[in-house]
Amino acid sequence: MEHRGVTVWLTGLSGAGKTTITKALEQELRSRNCEKLEVLDGDIVRQNLTKGLGFSKEDRDTNIRRIGFVANLLTRNGVMVLVSAISPYREVREEVGRQIGNFVEVFVNAPLNVCEERDVKGLYKRARAGEIEKFTGIDDPYEPPTNPTVECRTDLESLDESVGKVLGKLEELGYISN
């Protein structure tokens, strides 16, 4: 499938469903023969590209800018990039979006209590117990997008519905054909 380069940036709280939606999008796009496709998952990037950064606002912003830099390079070269990262601060997300240009912001929205119920990594429990400081949504803010390109309400819709919304928007914007 021929397509223009674009960064699809999935943002939301831990446990909202970013990685789940990203994996399903990747599978669907690959099944449509989308060959120029890369995934930048926040957890994997932190283990490699941004190892050593902490969780202060400055370090989080640096992390997002570095992910954005890589996504921009790929996007400029005709690659569709799926980014799955909490990216809690609106200002740096918007900055990265402006730099990339071909940028689709997907707000993976689930209420905090739903994310805590899902808590597959046990992070919310540890944060509530004081074992993790500056945890997004507990004692560090998450600033939701003011005008996301797509909003997926993972507490109210199925995975297929969320993936369909993103694919539909990519088709509407001319990044992929159906």
The answer to whether 20 and 108 have CB atoms below 8 angstroms apart is no
The 3-state secondary structure of 96-110, one letter per residue: HHHHHCCEEEEEEEC
Total residue length of the chain: 178
Has 16 been labeled as part of a binding site? Answer: yes
Catalytic residues, by residue number, are 87
How far is 33 from 177, CA to CA, in rounded Å? 11
Has 165 been labeled as part of a binding site? Answer: no
Q: What is the DSSP string of 132-154?
A: SSS-BTTTB-----SS-SEEEET
Q: How far is CA 144 from CA 14, 75, 151, in A?
A: 13, 24, 10
Has 84 been labeled as part of a binding site? Answer: no
Has 121 been labeled as part of a binding site? Answer: no
> Could you give phi then psi for residue 51, rounded to 5 degrees?
-55, 140
Has 169 been labeled as part of a binding site? Answer: no
Has 11 been labeled as part of a binding site? Answer: no
How far is 42 from 88, CA to CA, in rounded Å? 12
Has 122 been labeled as part of a binding site? Answer: no
Has 14 been labeled as part of a binding site? Answer: yes
How far is 15 from 38, CA to CA, in rounded Å? 22
- For the annotated binding site, the residues are 12-19
- For the annotated binding site for ATP, the residues are 12-19
